[in-house]
Each structure stands twice: as C-alpha cells, then as structure tokens.
Amino acid sequence: MAVALTEVWRRYGDGPGAVAALRGVTVGLPRGRLTCVMGPSGSGKSTLLQCAAGLDRPTSGSVRIGGVELTARSEEELTVLRRERLGFVFQAFNLVPFLTAEQNVGLPLKLSGARVDRARVRSTLASVGLSDRAGHRPSELSGGQQQRVAIARALVTTPEVVFADEPTGALDTGSAREVLTLLRHSVDTLGQTVVMVTHDPVAASYSDTVLFLSDGFIVDALDGPTADTVAARMTRLERS
C-alpha cells in the first residue's frame, strides 16, 4: 500500500460542540492506482486527504506512507516528507503568481536544494502539453492551463503519492476532462499513485476505485466506477 490509515480519528474541539470528522477510518490506498474519495458535504473527505498527506494530524490512529509512520514525526520532518515524497494539486491551483510556468514547475526541486534540472522541468511541462507556455505567468494562462502547470509541479519530483483536492472544481467541462486525463495518464504510464477528492461523478469515473465517506466513516467502495454507478451510490448516501 502507498498509504495506510489505521483507526484514524479526527475530532475538532471538545465538549458539546465537538465534531468527529473521521471516526476510526481504516483503509489502504494501493500503489499505481487512482483512488477517489467521495461523500456528502461535511462527510470528512478533505479531513481524510489532509490526514493521509501529513497536512493535518489525526487525534488518534496511524497514518503510514511507504511504511513511514507520519503521526510520530515533528512538523519539520513532515514538511520535508511532504516536499520530497508527495505532490499536491488543489482546486485553486496555488501557483506562485510572479513566477513563470517553468519556474513554478521547477520550484519543488529548488526548495529541496537540488540543482534544478531544466531538461526535466521542460519535459514535465511538455508532458502536460504546455511547452509553448513555459515563459507565461499564471495570470497569462487559462484555468485549465494553470491546473496543468500545477500537475506538472506535482509530478516533477516523481512523488510516491499525488494528493488532489477537487482538482477540477474550478474548471469548465473541457478543461476538467483534460486535467483528469492527465492524472489518469500519470497512473497508467508512470505508475503514479493518485488520491483525489471530488464531488463530481464524472471525475470519479476516471479512478480505479471510489471510496464513499458518510459522517466520518468509509461506508462503501466501488471498483471500476462509471459516472452512473457513482451518481446512483451518491444519491442513496445523500438520502440516508
């Protein structure tokens, strides 16, 4: 397993106003697969992703990435682990506005102190179809192009896992399809491991497995999902 969560609880606050966003989640996210996390609003999807990626700490339980127990690590160790071993794609792209596309993609290499291998940066940018936009700043790119730069930035370090939180949430249908195709392609051709949170059954249909969360529990999993089977399962969850 690329990521293993065991009995993960995440509570916010205490006393009568306390919320348990995750209630004893145990799940393995397999290597070389695209796993999607779905569930009604407030079911704990973002909390699950953040705990799995070492961005948030569970109240109790264990999170392992490639055999490394995250909960025992200091903040500094987690920062280094995230930078060196994980990639992130967010709904809002999160590119650095004053850097060009090429500089944004090279940033994780620069931050880790490695020599920035320009050929690698350029080939990663080419792999997302943006060779001709290398010198453009984010404000000069469409939303879909910005997200493709963010994917290149996530992939350039060949991370063990890419975590994507609503990566198509701010995109039109056509750009969303391009972004999903790229994530799928990274799994199929590079053996990349991707974990994606989404609200969209069409986005979920690009994954190998969909995990369904409800009220802090994983209540179901669907292999080989289609948009229709995912939408039907979501409708049942939202009614229950």
Ligand X SMILES: Nc1ncnc2c1ncn2[C@@H]1O[C@H](COP(=O)(O)OP(=O)(O)OP(=O)(O)O)[C@@H](O)[C@H]1O
- Could you say whether residue 238 binds ligand X (CB under 6 A)? no
The residue count for binding ligand X (CB under 6 A) is 12
Decide whether 141 or 194 has the Cβ nearer to ligand X.
194
Scan residues 159-198 and list those touching ligand X (CB under 6 A). none
3, 29, 45, 195: which one contacts ligand X (CB under 6 A)?
Answer: 45
CB 50 within 8 A of CB 63: no
How far is residue 230's CA from residue 212's CA, in Å, rounded to a whole number?
9
Pick the piece of the chain touching ligand X (CB under 6 A) from 34-42, 101-109, 170-178, 202-210: 34-42
Q: How near is the Cβ of 138 to ligand X at its closest, in Å? A: 24
What amino acid is encoded at 134 in this protein? A
Cβ-count burial 87-124 (b if 16+ within 10 Å, e if not): bbbbbebebeeeebbbbbbbbbbeeeeeebeeebbbeb
| H or E segment to which residue 80 belongs | helix 75-85
Q: How near is the Cβ of 27 to ligand X at its closest, in Å? A: 15
4, 5, 35, 39: which one contacts ligand X (CB under 6 A)?
Answer: 39
Q: How near is the Cβ of 11 to ligand X at its closest, in Å? A: 9
Q: How near is the Cβ of 58 to ligand X at its closest, in Å? A: 12
7, 19, 80, 96: which one contacts ligand X (CB under 6 A)?
Answer: 19
How many degrees, rounded to 5, is the angle at CA 55 between CA 49 and CA 60?
80
Decide whether 42 or 144 has the Cβ nearer to ligand X.
42
2, 3, 4, 43: which one contacts ligand X (CB under 6 A)?
Answer: 43
Quickly list H helices, 90-142.
101-111, 118-127
5, 25, 35, 44: which one contacts ligand X (CB under 6 A)?
Answer: 44
CB 81 within 8 A of CB 110: no
Cβ contacts of 220 within 8 Å, gap of 6 or more = 211, 212, 233, 237
Which positions lie near ligand X, rule CB under 6 A?
A: 12-13, 19, 21, 39, 41-47
